């Protein structure tokens, strides 16, 4: 059971890493023992805007990061987007089955291939209330990604992402920067997210139209956003409201 | 206010158990679509819900279920050892000091903000229960998304084997070490959150 031995070895290393350099070393060594050249562990954000608190460690060719950031791909990268649709790891060869690829997506995939990144496998790494992330593993073009090691990558990706959270500020920021809404503000945000107008929300909650406007204004101020849609997105992101809240009948 | 029922030290009332089994049906069968037996059309109860199981149940003051977990002794039949042994690379762990966490359940009626608080109380209660009763390790089977969240609590976890596809997802098996260091690890993970002592029924009874 070689895959499990490799994964266990990585978990032992990951528990004791003291800094990001150690972690890169541990992942690189582990990947090398599987004959996997590349890994990339990343939050899915625009790194030119939010690079400080987000995690990104990888051993892709140096030109990749620059190109990636110049194109603001953190949130748009097709692999990242596909991982938001997946609840488990996926092979990049399955990408066309998971979502419709746009011409821009094809440009990204072609560019990766050109700079030496071939087939790969991505493990989604999402912790509720925090930025979405993933851990990818890839081989050089022309080689087949070793299928028998996909499940080992699943384990390595999960533990690597957690080690990265521990070593960076990712954990701290999720708890300190969440604005707190009052119950009434939250109720208004929830109904707004369900598509109700201020007047409709007033009728539903049995409060005045003016009060609803005030609650939503204060809620927007707490999040520092201008628009109703952005308010709903932020409240969803930090868990003040949930998808099931919005969608349930 | 939240009350904790620990069935290893007090007998839970029928109302609390009914409320928990109904909540489990709403979560595991109605929401997560697990293939489990249903009792009387509204309760999720299986063969492991027997006299050997322990429950940690958080309720409101009216004894309505808010969150719960079931602990099974690994020296007796349990989920990992008897249903998913293939998730372990070696023999599934079985020892008196090792218990399995199953049916970790947050009530569907909870709002998102409450879910996090209840989750933290329940994880803390599970760790405190182990420290109090001599459990040194937990095991558990989890879908990979939930497994990532379990790791994020900060306690020391190890995989027991490679994950395997199951239904529409992928299941993995973990063991979790519980040591005197665990509260500090959960604290660093932002999860440690003991229920204030005066709010537990046992303490109130002691003070009465």
The answer to whether residue B107 sits within a structural domain is: yes
Question: Above 50 in pLDDT, residue B206?
Answer: no
So what's the ipTM on this one? Answer: 0.90
For residue B140, what are the domain limits? 3-195
pLDDT at position A71? 77
For residue A118, what are the domain limits? 2-174
Which CATH number does the domain housing residue A230 bear? 1.10.10.10
> Do A235 and A163 sit in the same domain of this protein?
no
User: Among A200-209, B11-20, B112-121, which is the least confidently predicted range?
Assistant: B112-121
> Do A127 and A192 sit in the same domain of this protein?
no
pLDDT at position B201? 54
pLDDT at position B92? 97
Q: Domain boundary at A141, A174, A207, which?
A: A174
Smallest Cβ distance to B170: which of A154, A165, A171?
A: A154
What are the pLDDT digits (tens) for A220-246? 988 888 899 989 988 887 777 877 777
> Do A144 and A187 sit in the same domain of this protein?
no
Tell me if A154 and B169 make a contact (CB, 8 A cut-off).
Answer: no
**Chain B closest CA to A54's CA: distance in Å?**
16
Taking the whole predicted model, whether its pTM rises above 0.90 is answered as: no
The answer to whether residue B205 sits within a structural domain is: no
What are the pLDDT digits (tens) for B49-101? 999 999 999 999 899 999 999 999 999 999 999 999 999 999 999 999 999 99
Which CATH number does the domain housing residue B14 bear? 3.40.630.30
Which CATH number does the domain housing residue A48 bear? 3.30.450.80
The answer to whether residue B202 sits within a structural domain is: no
Q: Quick one: what percent of chain A has pLDDT higher than 70?
A: 91
User: What are the mean pLDDT values of chain A's consecutive 10-residue runs (249 residues total)?
Assistant: 90 93 94 94 77 80 83 78 87 90 88 90 87 90 92 96 84 56 90 93 93 94 88 82 73
Mean pLDDT over the full length of chain B: 91
The answer to whether residue B207 sits within a structural domain is: no
CB-CB neighbours of A227 under 10 Å = 9
pLDDT at position A6? 96
Tally DSSP H helices, then E strands, for chain A: 14, 5
Count of domains in chain A? 2
Tell me if A239 and B116 make a contact (CB, 8 A cut-off).
Answer: yes
Q: Are strands B137-143 and B98-106 parallel, antiparallel or unpaired?
A: parallel
The answer to whether residue B83 sits within a structural domain is: yes
Q: Domain boundary at A174, A189, A210, which?
A: A174
- Structural contact between residues B139 and B80, judged by C-beta atoms closer than 8 angstroms: yes
Tell me if B172 and A8 make a contact (CB, 8 A cut-off).
Answer: no
Q: Domain boundary at A174, A192, A219, which?
A: A174
pLDDT at position B24? 96
Q: Best residue in A6, A34, A87, A88 to probe B by mutation, most B CBs within 10 Å?
A: A88
| Partner A contacted by B205 (CB < 8 A) | no
Mean pLDDT over the full length of chain A: 86
The answer to whether residue B92 sits within a structural domain is: yes
Q: Label residue A224 exposed, middle or buried (CB < 10 Å: 0-12, 13-18, 19+).
A: exposed
- Structural contact between residues A87 and A71, judged by C-beta atoms closer than 8 angstroms: no
3-class secondary structure, A241? coil
Tell me if B161 and A11 make a contact (CB, 8 A cut-off).
Answer: no
CA A52 to chain centre: 15
Q: Which residue is closest to B148 within chain A, CA to CA?
A: A158
> Do A165 and A201 sit in the same domain of this protein?
no
What are the pLDDT digits (tens) for B181-202? 999 999 999 899 998 764 455 5
Q: Read off the pLDDT band of B38 (50, 70, 90).
A: very high
Tell me if B116 and A161 make a contact (CB, 8 A cut-off).
Answer: no
Count of domains in chain B? 1
CB-CB neighbours of A163 under 10 Å = 25
């Amino acid at each position: 059971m070689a895959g499990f031995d490799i994964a266990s070895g990585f978990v032992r290393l990951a528990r004791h890493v003291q800094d990001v350099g150690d972690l890169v070393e541990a992942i690189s060594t582990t990947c090398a023992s599987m004959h996997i050249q590349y890994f990339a562990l990343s939050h899915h954000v625009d790194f030119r805007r939010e690079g400080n608190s987000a995690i990104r460690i990888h051993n892709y060719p140096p030109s990749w990061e620059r190109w990636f950031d110049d194109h603001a791909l953190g949130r748009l990268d097709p692999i990242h987007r596909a991982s938001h649709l997946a609840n488990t790891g996926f092979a990049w060869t399955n990408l066309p089955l998971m979502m419709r690829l746009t011409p821009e997506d094809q440009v990204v995939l072609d560019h990766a291939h050109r700079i030496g990144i071939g087939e790969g496998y991505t493990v989604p790494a999402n912790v509720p209330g925090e930025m979405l992330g993933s851990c990818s593993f890839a081989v050089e073009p022309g080689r087949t990604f070793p299928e028998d090691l996909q499940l080992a990558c699943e384990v390595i990706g999960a533990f690597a992402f957690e080690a990265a959270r521990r070593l960076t500020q990712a954990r701290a920021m999720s708890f300190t920067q969440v604005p707190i809404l009052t119950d009434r503000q939250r109720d208004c945000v929830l109904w707004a997210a369900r598509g109700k107008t201020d007047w409709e929300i007033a009728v539903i909650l049995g409060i005045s139209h003016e009060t609803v406007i005030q609650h939503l204004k204060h809620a927007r101020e707490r999040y520092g956003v201008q628009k109703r849609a952005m308010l709903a997105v932020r409240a969803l992101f930090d868990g003040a409201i949930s998808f099931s809240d919005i969608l349930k009948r | 206010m939240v009350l904790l029922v620990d069935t290893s030290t007090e007998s839970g009332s029928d109302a609390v158990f009914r409320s928990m089994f109904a909540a489990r049906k709403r979560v595991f069968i109605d929401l997560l679509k697990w293939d489990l037996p249903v009792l009387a059309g509204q309760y999720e109860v299986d063969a492991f819900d027997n006299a050997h199981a322990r429950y940690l149940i958080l309720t409101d003051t009216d004894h309505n279920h808010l969150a719960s977990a079931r602990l099974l002794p690994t020296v007796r039949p349990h989920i990992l050892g008897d249903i998913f042994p293939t998730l372990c690379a070696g023999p599934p762990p079985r020892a008196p000091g090792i218990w399995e966490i199953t049916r970790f359940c947050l009530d569907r009626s909870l709002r998102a903000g409450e879910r996090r608080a209840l989750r933290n109380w329940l994880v803390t209660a599970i760790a405190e229960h182990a420290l109090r009763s001599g459990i040194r390790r937990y095991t558990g089977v989890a879908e990979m998304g939930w497994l990532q969240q379990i790791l994020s609590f900060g306690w020391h976890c190890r995989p027991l084997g490679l994950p395997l596809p199951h239904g529409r997802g992928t299941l993995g098996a973990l063991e979790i070490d519980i040591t005197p260091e665990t509260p500090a690890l959960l604290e660093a993970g932002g999860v440690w959150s003991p229920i204030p002592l005066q709010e537990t029924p046992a303490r109130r009874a002691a003070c009465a």
